[in-house]
Structure 1
Amino acid sequence: MKKSILIIALGAVFASSGAYALNLQDMLKDELLKQIEPRQAEPQQTAPSETGNAHGAQDNPAATVLGAFAKTSTEDEIRIGRQIAGDLLGAAPLVPDASLQRYVNQVGRWVALQSDRPDLPWHFGVIDTTDINAFAAPGGYVFVTRGLYQKLNSEAELAGVLAHEISHVVHKDHLKILQQTRLLNLGAQYLGKQAKGQDAVQKLIGSGAEIVARGLDKNAEFAADRMGVVLAARAGYDPYGLPAVLEEIGHTAPNDSRVALLFKTHPAPAERLSMLGEAIGTHFDSLAPGKELKDRFYRIR
């Protein structure tokens, strides 16, 4: 397929990168690892049940949180994502390189601005593990492993990877999985227990490792690949950055422990490339080439 796409000027954005740069070391202190404040339930008029209980969920904090989780407002979504992100960072901390983290946030937030949810409080980071993978959590939390980052060769490839994960957040893919699995099974187990704030959210979502290890439906991954290519294109990058990464990962031996989780939770790279090829076709052939930005790509020291 011909490598071509509309160029979007990025100079002004990166010239004022202070507006978008987020120091994830500060985020660890101020946001990801702080305790989630218990939400104050608003007084509600609840109709009496057939058993005569007029208080309903107000008498049961766990039921209150379960109800809020089912409705999943943006505030709820961010709260859940923050907890999952904290779990992930508890298992594998960020790479201790502030410049790297700022750079990844600059790229990620610029790509996220091209999505249908630009107003989420997007946070990006590189976590310190040799595994080859990337993760997204509800509410705008996106992480790339050091193992995957070190396989990248350009900013366009980074943008493609981040765009794929951004797409999962935009589509609320992990949130849907939580709704489908947790809400079906948690009622009997937790409705009778008293749980507040962070403990309640933790019980509702399980652990960060659990949510990312569960994997998504193949169609969700294919859709995220398609949208990821489009978002990278809108941001002015070469849209073939993500396919290049998939091709590189495909060269990794299936028995390599670094890709064990990735291959378990995602379709095979060859299958993803095939589906992307069919979807993209010649749609980008009439447009000007996008940017690869190999020289600007930040390399881990």
Structure 2
Amino acid sequence: MNHNVLKQKAIALACAACLIGTSQAFDLKGALKDAVKEQIGVTDKKETSTAPASGTADNASAQDKLANINWTSPSLEDEIAVGRNVTGTILGAAPLVSDAGLQAYVNKVGRWVASQSERADIAWHFGVIDSSDINAFATPGGYVLITKGLYQRLTSEAQLAGVLGHEIAHVVQKHHLKVMQKQALLDAGTAFLKEKISKNKLTQRAVSTGAEISARNLDKSAEYEADSMGTVLAARAGYEVYGLAEVLQALAQVSNNDSSMALLFQTHPHPDERLAQLSLISGNQLDSMEGGKTLDSRLYRLK
């Protein structure tokens, strides 16, 4: 078994680890925000009060938040607590690339694109994880990860903006959170008929569902919606409108047997399908948004 396949399985196993329990998900200080602060020194004064620091007491506090999530109507704080948990699990399998310039740059681009969305008030966090797989992930609460394998295939900042826009759209539309909420309420109903189940157990099962769909797939309609909305968000931010389409076109040329693409094919429809659907949904609207920048030379080059 080659390295790419092992890495892919490690990420999938990390997400499946939520089935066992949630405590391990805070191994990297809770989630992407804390991992970035710890590993590369990126700080965010806006949300220091909501981010638990390292230590047993803070881990316990984080667990208390998870145990008391209101799945009937999750608050933003509930959403962030769940997203931190799922993101921390993914980072446990594939840590952030150790390149401060890269992480700061991707956060700058991602936050600018996110500022064009309906949820600009969220404290968004972005990161590039050390995996040769070609993929990107979003979790509730504004956490977005892109693999180094995908980043290395980008040729312009507009393409990066398109990829991040797609993941931002998932968070804006609460695609993952809605699936997790449905699972929690379903479990609660089943438990009522059979036996009592703790709120903590409900959350563990719901987070497990969120982790699995991050490692596997959402409904196709959610992916198509994210493609369309992500393209619009990138265009609003001033980028050339075809950035995401260019990435999809390039990925469509990669062999189906390439192991680095295996996880992408599990988590998203085939790039050809996405291109066709993007064209169908957007129609002439894409042409009307032309005039943005590609910013090829500004794309951060990995060390």
CA displacement at 1:194 relative to structure 2: 8.2
> Retained in 2: the 8 A contact 1:157–1:242?
yes
Q: Which residue does 1:71 correspond to in 2?
A: 73
Which structure 2 residues correspond to residues 114-129 of structure 1 after superposition, within 5 A? 114-129=116-131
* Cα distance in 2, alignment partners of residues 119 and 294 from structure 1: 29
Q: Which residue does 2:90 correspond to in 1?
A: 88
Specify the SS of the correspondent of 2:254: coil
Specify the SS of the correspondent of 1:206: helix
Identity %: 52
Q: Confirm whether residue 230 of structure 1 aligns to residue 232 of structure 2.
A: yes
* Cα distance in 1, alignment partners of residues 93 and 265 from structure 2: 20
Q: Which residue does 1:25 correspond to in 2?
A: 36
Specify the SS of the correspondent of 1:255: coil
Q: Which residue does 2:278 correspond to in 1?
A: 276
Which structure 2 residues correspond to residues 1-301 of structure 1 after superposition, within 5 A? 25-26=36-37, 31=51, 34=54, 35=59, 37=61, 65=68, 68-185=70-187, 188=191, 191-193=196-198, 195=200, 201-206=203-208, 209-286=211-288, 289-301=291-303
> Retained in 1: the 8 A contact 2:184–2:205?
no
Change (3 A) 1:193 1:262: same
Counterpart code for 1:233: A
Q: Name whichever of 121-130 and 202-211 sits farther off.
A: 202-211
- Unmatched runs of 5 consecutive residues or more in structure 2: 1-32, 42-47
* Cα distance in 2, alignment partners of residues 292 and 193 from structure 1: 51
TM-score scaled to structure 1, two decimals? Answer: 0.76
Change (3 A) 1:114 1:279: same
CA displacement at 1:193 relative to structure 2: 4.8
Counterpart code for 2:217: G
- Unmatched runs of 5 consecutive residues or more in structure 1: 1-21, 42-60
Specify the SS of the correspondent of 1:37: helix
Counterpart code for 1:232: A
Specify the SS of the correspondent of 1:300: coil
TM-score scaled to structure 2, two decimals? Answer: 0.76
* Cα distance in 1, alignment partners of residues 117 and 102 from structure 2: 23
Specify the SS of the correspondent of 1:142: strand
CA displacement at 1:74 relative to structure 2: 0.8
CA displacement at 1:282 relative to structure 2: 2.2
> Retained in 2: the 8 A contact 1:23–1:101?
no
CA displacement at 1:71 relative to structure 2: 1.6
Specify the SS of the correspondent of 2:240: coil
Change (3 A) 1:286 1:262: closer
Q: Name whichever of 205-214 and 130-139 sits farther off.
A: 205-214
* Cα distance in 1, alignment partners of residues 287 and 178 from structure 2: 35
Specify the SS of the correspondent of 1:69: coil
CA displacement at 1:200 relative to structure 2: 7.4
* Cα distance in 1, alignment partners of residues 262 and 300 from structure 2: 26
Specify the SS of the correspondent of 1:238: coil
CA displacement at 1:210 relative to structure 2: 2.0
